[in-house]
Amino acid sequence: MTLFFKFDFNAICQTVLEQVLNNNNIKYKNVGFGEIEVLEKITPEKQQDLQNELDTFNIEIVENQKSILVQKIKDTITDMVFNEDTVVNVKSSVYLSEALGHSYGYLSNLFSEVTYTSIENFIIIQKIEYAKQLVIKQDLSLTEIAFKLNYSSVAHLSTQFKNTTGITPTAFQRIIAKRRDLNQQNN
């Protein structure tokens, strides 16, 4: 039997962070996604214990300023793509610049320097991941998915989908449909 799950990355990460901070009796204030203000002085040993516990969830305390900004770029992109409440009617470059208060050129160069990939590639990967989730969970048409993800056309979505996954979105939809049929037959 295969189970399909719907989840919100932001909510999961926030819940895990809150749980770990509470377990370690650390007083904090939630500043924003991926950003916590610690309201007390913590010892290096306590910070190491905190990091060790966060490691089990693949969460890392970021201390380098460049890495912090790159993480904010990733978080902003993830929020832009996955958050259904966020309607982005501007170019992603304008959205990122306005959200983070830096020129897009600076953000792009920094992102490439730290991650060895471009912001555009990261956005495409996030959009394709979301497209796959929409196919699996919501059974939307490709036209609806393209519109929801701000693609200019289904052809544009299809090209990026195939370049990223190696298969067309239609083939992906057929695979998911077959898996559902097999699961229903086995139940």
Question: In this structure, are residues 107 and 96 in contact, taking their beta carbons and an 8 Å threshold?
Answer: yes
Q: Whole-model pTM above 0.75? A: no
So what's the pLDDT on residue 141? 85
Q: Which CATH class is domain 119-187?
A: mainly alpha
Domain layout of the chain by residue ranges: 1-61, 64-116, 119-187
Q: Helix/strand/coil (H, E, C) string of 106-163? A: HHHHHHHHHHCCCHHHHHHHHHHHHHHHHHHHHCCCHHHHHHHCCCCCHHHHHHHHHH
Mean of pLDDT over the chain:
85
pLDDT in tens, 98-157: 999 999 999 999 999 988 999 999 999 999 999 998 888 877 788 988 888 888 899 999
Over residues 78-95, the mean pLDDT reads: 77
Provide the 8-state DSSP code for 17: H
So what's the pLDDT on residue 85? 62
**Of 5-14, 51-60, 76-85, 144-153, which range is least confident?**
5-14
User: Bigger pLDDT: 51 or 2?
Assistant: 51
Rounded CA separation 89/101 (Å): 18
pLDDT in tens, 34-74: 678 888 888 888 888 888 888 888 888 877 788 889 989 99
Q: Is the confidence at residue 80, as pLDDT, over 70?
A: yes
Residue 80: CB partners within 8 Å, gap ≥ 6?
A: 86, 88, 92, 95, 96
**Of 2-11, 13-22, 65-74, 158-167, which range is least confident?**
2-11
Distance from chain centroid for Cα 101: 20
